[in-house]
Amino acid sequence: MDFKNKVIWITGASSGIGKSLAIALSKMDCKLILSARRTTELENVKTLCKQPNLVYVLPLDLAEIDDMPTLTNIAVTAFGQVDILINNGGISQRSPIIDTSIEVDRKLMEIDYLGTVALSKALLPHFIANQSGHYVVVSSLMGKFSSSYRSAYCGAKHALHGFFDALRLEHDKDNVKVTMICPGFVNTNVARNALTADGTKQGYQDNMTENGLDVEVFVKRMIKAIKKEKFEAYIGKFEKFGVYVKRLSPKLLHKLVLRSKVR
């Protein structure tokens, strides 16, 4: 796939992976639509892009699923079409199941799963009409296997795989592609912003995230996977091998994850 002249819509574009992805893609002669809740931060990212005149800022809150059809119409109108939707927006969680409020579980599902699904479904008729389109979904290795203290996050990410695997099957005939990107530990603020048992932010970085892949290294690998139109891409350090260990022996992976004492 060549990104030249493509219109790429990125959610969660105000920081972290989304911000680095926008800056990297802006060097590839494509048009960008940047979405997140924080308009000021989106405008800042726009100024960092190679050609700001080819960047459209569209504020979006994934929790407001009823807004998705309207926002999709605005996005399509911005440059006349959308070729690729990169579903990158979302939040994480760090807390024991026994202590975690059901409202935290609900919030993770509403934002990480339902918000992404609602936006993707709103754009689907456009992809079908064009007989072309590509969904890129930033899931997680936690969408393939689980770890302690991330129960709500794992549940939402697992759900994304179920939905988008079905979408890929149903709309293969419409030339609609789906790439699931599964990051391991990436050095962003995801841990600091993760929700705790009562819904407040964790507020600090953990060692595994701090020592994770540099975000720019991650983005280079992610772009490579999108270009190849991979079904799934596992991007991380040693932790990515958990996917393959689980296929061999779920019990062995269970023991290895317990031993790692990941928090």
> Is there a catalytic annotation at residue 153?
yes
Active-site residue (options: 113, 135, 149, 153): 153
Whether 39 and 58 have beta carbons less than 8 Å apart is answered as no
CA angle 125, 12, 38 (to 5 degrees): 115
DSSP code for 142: G
Mind listing the pLDDT tens digit for each residue in 7-30?
999 999 999 999 999 999 999 999
Mind listing the pLDDT tens digit for each residue in 113-161?
999 999 999 999 999 999 999 999 999 999 999 999 999 999 999 999 9
Q: Tokens representing 56?
A: 């459209």
Global confidence as pTM: 0.96
CATH of 7-260, one of 3.40.50.720, 3.30.70.1450, 1.10.357.10, 3.40.190.10: 3.40.50.720
CA distance 29 to 132: 19
Q: What is the pLDDT of residue 263?
A: 62
Beta strand ranges found along 40-161 (DSSP E): 55-57, 84-87, 133-138
Q: Is the pLDDT reported for residue 262 higher than 70?
A: no
Mind listing the pLDDT tens digit for each residue in 93-106?
999 999 999 999 99
Q: What is the pLDDT of residue 207?
A: 85
Closest CA to 13 of 68, 66, 90: 90
Mind listing the pLDDT tens digit for each residue in 169-223?
999 999 999 999 999 999 998 999 999 999 999 999 888 898 899 999 999 999 9
Q: How crowded is residue 165: how many other Cβ atoms within 10 Å of its Cβ? A: 14
Q: Is the pLDDT reported for residue 261 higher than 90?
A: no
CA distance 214 to 119: 29
Q: Where are the domains of the chain?
A: 7-260
